[in-house]
Structure 1
């Protein structure tokens, strides 16, 4: 599936605070922890738990969230399908970064080993 400009715009305007609770419930429902979720978020963005809370409180959009992030150099190793999109084929850099995060959360929820999620080996 190819992302449309409208889809990219919707992703940019969506607030991280609206999606974060869904990330938490998804991983916890599958037996993973909020701490593991924060480990994944910090690996991708450089944001520790306190910074994530601050960004939630500020109601930042995904555009603002990723403008402030220091994306991990191995983020480009995140490949595959998420929400019907092949991550490595997404043309909009912001949409691709949001889908990176979605993919990592999905892998965590599916029980993948942390060293694999964090592209360490």
Structure 2
């Protein structure tokens, strides 16, 4: 079975789109970074290093220091698919990130986005 194309894409190639999506709705790059750090456990320095290294999504999530246990609380539809129904672990992590960025762009408070 071949891997989905997104697994081999670098986070750095998609990251500017996350930031642009957030900024168009009056949110900030630092909020995007906070979401990524919350989800993965990367520090800001290590996140920036991953972006600089052009790390692909599969490696980025595989090497994540501490995937947040509260990420299981992320529910809803992204790209027409319910995130909680995605069985493949790496794809689920990618879609969790997509969903959180979506929530940021839709104006949800950081407290709600980070499931506090």
TM-score range, shorter chain: over 0.9
Instruction: Return 17-26 or 51-60, whichever deviates more.
Output: 51-60
Counterpart in the other structure of 2:53? 58
Q: Work out the CA distance in 2 between the residues paired with 1:48 and 1:38.
A: 9
Structure 1: 4+ residue segments shifted above 6 A: none
Aligned 1:22-33 pairs, distance under 5 A: 22-33=17-28
Q: Secondary structure at the match of 1:60?
A: coil
Aligned residues, how many? 115
TM-score normalized with structure 1 length:
0.90
Residue in 2 aligned with 1:75? 71
Gaps of 5+ in 2: none
1:51-88 alpha-carbon deviations (Å, 9 max, x no partner)? 12111111111000001112101001111001111101
Match 1:116 to one of 101, 112, 115 = 112
Offset at residue 11 of structure 1 (A): 2.2
Q: What residue number does 1:16 align with?
A: 11
Structure 1 residues 82-121: aligned runs within 5 Å: 82-120=78-116
State the TM-score, normalized to the length of structure 2: 0.93
Q: Which moved more, 1:101-110 or 1:9-18?
A: 9-18
Say what the alpha-carbon RMSD is for the aligned residues. 1.2
